[in-house]
Structure 1
């Protein structure tokens, strides 16, 4: 198998659905991507800020595997880097199969720790009608256009759907990240805990 790599990096200083691809991003420990709207020690996602602005920010860096884009292409959707709002587009690593607290070494310096899954929402269909079915399916694998329960909802962990819209992480070690950088996966000690929506 090929060495997992960073396929592209993106950021946006405003809260928009998509982010702009850039040559490099700077990850800052305990903060996120410098110059990105979602950077901060406390929650930055607007709906979560309305609920409780003092929550820790478990969504500092959003990563999406490029394989999701390949699936989208087979289903008739063309996506480009940053389109799904990701900061890091990866290649060669099944992010969704990794457990909580997995560390990803991005390039020579930066390290992020996985906190959970991105919960696909209706905004994906606002971006491209029908796209939600690419990243959300029932447990039998059947694609669905029905949004997953909100992370504020008690049903979020009990409704059985498969989320493939990427993973969320926090920055543990600062560093610059660029397309082409190698990714090294460091699994956590102990029994693995599956990623859940955050």
Structure 2
């Protein structure tokens, strides 16, 4: 049985990166976030869009997907439905615990560790590749609510406003923007 780590507050559970556009990423002890680019050494790092499909049609779009974050609570939830998932399996760079990522408003700042700041830009929209990883997983992470609206559960995307090392067990401080707030949309 796996040991569960329950930090006292919002924290980093895992960090990962991949220099290739693989579905899953390699777990690391720490990653370096680079201002305006993303995770050093990651295939999605850059000022312009790096997502393979989007890059073909809109190569000069700004990269709003420099960092992918998923809440570890999703893995706990999916385990109850028989799925076995671990940090980095779904291609996220940072796995968190203790933050309701999906309900943060657009523009929320995540201060991670001593220096790094990630601004939340939107929701991740998973593609069919997720079913190649585990059959039925796409439906599990894209359920419908009582009104029939799709609920996207595969985390959030962000841009790096301030660089720094991010390591396992780093504290995460959440700063919600003042004034009117917008719900996250897919980016």
Q: How high is the TM-score relative to the length of structure 2?
A: 0.94
2:50 aligned residue: 44
1 CA distance for matches of 2:86 and 2:144? 26
2 CA distance for matches of 1:83 and 1:63? 12
Question: Structure 1 residues 17-26 or 125-134, which shifts more?
Answer: 125-134
Aligned pairs for 1:23-38 within 5 A: 23-38=29-44
Structure 2 segments unaligned to the other structure (5+ residues)? 1-6
How far residue 61 of structure 1 moved from its aligned partner, in angstroms, is 0.1
2:61 aligned residue: 55
2 CA distance for matches of 1:91 and 1:118? 17
Match of 2:173 among 178, 181, 184: 184
Structure 1 segments unaligned to the other structure (5+ residues)? 143-159
Contact 1:71-1:134 within 8 A present in 2 as well: no
**Change in CA separation of 1:141 and 1:70 when aligned onto 2, cut-off 3 Å:** farther
Secondary structure of 1:195 counterpart? coil
2 CA distance for matches of 1:140 and 1:89? 28
Secondary structure of 1:72 counterpart? helix
1 CA distance for matches of 2:139 and 2:76? 14
Q: How high is the TM-score relative to the length of structure 1?
A: 0.89
1:8 aligned residue: 14
1:118 aligned residue: 124
2 CA distance for matches of 1:162 and 1:25? 29
Deviations 1:56-110, CA, capped at 9 Å, x for gaps: 0000000000000001100101111100000000000010010000000001100
